Amino acid sequence: MTATPLIDRSRTVDALRATRLVAVVRASDAASAVRGVDALVAGGVRGIEITFTTPGATEAIAEIARRHGDDVVLGAGTVTRPEQAGEAVEAGATFLVSPGTHPSLTPALRDTGAALLLGALSPSDVLAALAEGADVVKLFPASLGGPAYLRSLRGPFPEVDFCPTGGVTPETIPAWLDAGAVALGAGSELCSRASLDAGDWAGITETARRFVAALPR
């Protein structure tokens, strides 16, 4: 797939830096993913990542793009197969997230023209992600090292934009940002599968408000 001229990659990265919080949505079906995003947006969350572990992920992305447009920064996560990259961007995703970095996958991601968040944990992983064209390095699973580990990584990589994902809570948000994160990915702590399956939209909105309130002004 050729690069998509409608995506402004740098603008997407700037939008991720500005919103600072990305909800990682893993749902049982496309309909609950869409309703969950409606609830998240009502709570003030603008960064949205629909994972490919969600059945009908591309359909969900397309409907979210139709409903919310530029009010959200919309991406696809858990991209593990080359064909998923093009499908996600065609549906409306402007950034792509992979849990790791592998040269058999990243060319397809780059070819879409979308902003890339490539997964890394160790310093070697960070180097690999940068070599493969990551705009932002997804530190995953971030809960293994916590903010102190990110602070250590920032020593040799002071100019790298990191997005820790995994175990992020309202209580830890200030520490992560103080350690140098440009954005934070929050999954089940923000929008759990149980809440989505139960249709607890009001609960998701309230949790979203707590996360947003924890972001420093």
- Catalytic residues, which ones? 49, 138
Considering Cα of 105, then 106, then 107, then 110, what sign does the dihedral take?
positive
Q: Residue 184 phi/psi, 5° resolution?
A: -130, 135
Distance of CA 118 to the CA centre of its chain: 10
Tokens of 33: 């993913």
| Residues 6+ away with beta carbon under 8 Å from 100 | 118, 119, 120, 125
Residues 158, 144: Cα–Cα separation, whole Å = 21
Residues 96, 83: Cα–Cα separation, whole Å = 12
